[in-house]
Amino acid sequence: MSANSQQLKGRRVCAASVYGFSAGEMRKIAHNLHTKAKEEVASGRARKFRGSIEEAL
């Protein structure tokens, strides 16, 4: 495992413990956020993130 992937895994574990989500829930949240971002880019509406990560969840 590369150092970068280990660092990302550590962030997911930290986020899961902070918010109390399981690994499966974290994957689903990440997938949904990624899908929303792709839609914004495709529609030309992508700008700086101005919202709350808690609201996005």
pLDDT digits (tens, 9 = 90+) for 27-38: 898 899 889 888
Residue 6 sits at φ, ψ, to 5 deg, of -65, -40
pLDDT digits (tens, 9 = 90+) for 2-53: 555 555 566 656 666 777 888 888 889 889 988 988 898 888 887 766 777 7
The Cα 40–Cα 48 span in angstroms is 11
Contact 56, 33 (CB under 8 A): yes
Closest CA to 51 of 40, 28, 15: 40
